[in-house]
Amino acid sequence: MRIILASSSPRRVEILKKIGLNFDVIPSRVIEHLEKGDFGEMVENLAMEKAKEVFNRTFDERLVIGADTVVVFNDEVLGKPRDFEEAERFLKRLSGKTHEVYTGVAFVWNSGEYSFHEKTVVKFRNLPDELVKKYVSSGSPMDKAGGYGIQDLGSVFVEKVDGDFYNVMGLPIGKVWEFLYKKGWWK
């Protein structure tokens, strides 16, 4: 069966490669949007939209994996920063505080669909201004929810992670692997 990742995220690609999965990348054309209500449900619904959109553009027997990640601080979604100033504001707000990371994952295949979401709580240490400025000037925050990547220099921001580390990177790989394994799609 052909497996397709409906995301161009280099982090998701890297994570899936860690488990030895053979897959193609066909990014979804879905415009990311925020819904009202439960954050986990929101990312799960968006992940399903992305997976279905790519499924409907492809053929043959296939499994499409869609995903969406958001950072939530004080019940507000911090998406990908629009500019350097917003990235800096995000990081200063998160400094010394706790926030949640939600990732929704959806699978669509020829005879079914399944989705779930994962929540991870992240505690930041107090960030010196010079660290925030250096990180933002690197450009790294610009394509990441909440304006940071736990896998790059942003790793030093993190004091504690409660939950799935890979969820913070954008894909809770343990649960993804478990689903693929139980279906017989991971060998």
The phi, psi pair for 173, rounded to 5°, reads -65, -30
Terminal Cα distance for the chain, rounded: 11
How many whole angstroms separate alpha carbon 3 and alpha carbon 6? Answer: 10
Full DSSP string of 6-71? ----HHHHHHHHHTT---EE----PPP---SS-HHHHHHHHHHHHHHHHHTT--SSEEEEEEEEEE
75 given a catalytic annotation: no
State the Cα–Cα distance between residues 42 and 104, nearest whole angstrom: 8
Query: Which one from 68, 129, 143, 162 is the annotated catalytic residue?
Result: 68
Instruction: Give me the active site residues, please.
Output: 68
